[in-house]
Amino acid sequence: MRILKTSAFRRLLILALGCLAVGAATSANAGNIAWSAALNTPQMPNPKMPGFFIWHEGKGGIDVYMTAEFNGNLKKTQIMAGTITIASGTISLLGSSALGTDEFVTLVNPAKVTFSFQRDSGRHSLHFKLTGGTTLTFKATYDGALKGSIIYYGPKATNAKGSPDPVIFALGK
């Protein structure tokens, strides 16, 4: 047990543990989308395609537009719902477009928003302000199914399809 007492071995052990911690933190954020990629209003693609469009203007204000599928002969209402959470920060100044019966936008706590819209055509929106935070997580459902694949962000309306569900934005990037 003499080797455990040497200062060189202790330094090597501390260095190895530090490398493991940095590697774990890096891999935990590896699948996150850089928040800077969501800067500026997107050009909306076909307004008849369903989707969640997310962007910010760089001052802490966030906008999320939801568009529902519409082909002119839609026979059922689509439900677009979700949860937005911020880690180590707060959400405030929550607002939305006019809500209909059975629709809601709720600030559950200072770090979590839930919403549900029933759409048979057109757009709905919500907006809020962020203060601080490390990550912003969007868990979106479309007619009850988890749908990160219909989340778009930033000026080019980049599809988050390759990202895991839920979609996570790294706010410091």
Q: Which residue has the tokens 């600030």?
A: 107
- Whether 3 and 138 have beta carbons less than 8 Å apart is answered as no
State residue 19's pLDDT score: 36
CA angle (159, 170, 48) in 5-degree steps: 25
20 vs 113 pLDDT, higher one: 113
Report the chain's mean pLDDT, rounded to a whole number: 74
State residue 15's pLDDT score: 41
Confidence of residue 7 (pLDDT cuts 50, 70, 90): low
What is the separation of C-alpha 92 from the centre of its chain, rounded to a whole number of angstroms?
16
For 76-119, write each residue's pLDDT tens digit.
677 888 899 999 999 999 888 767 778 888 999 999 999 888 76
> Is the sign of the CA dihedral 154, 158, 159, 160 positive or negative?
negative
State residue 10's pLDDT score: 46
Between the CA atoms of 163, 106, 96 and 66, what dihedral angle is there, to the nearest 10 degrees?
30
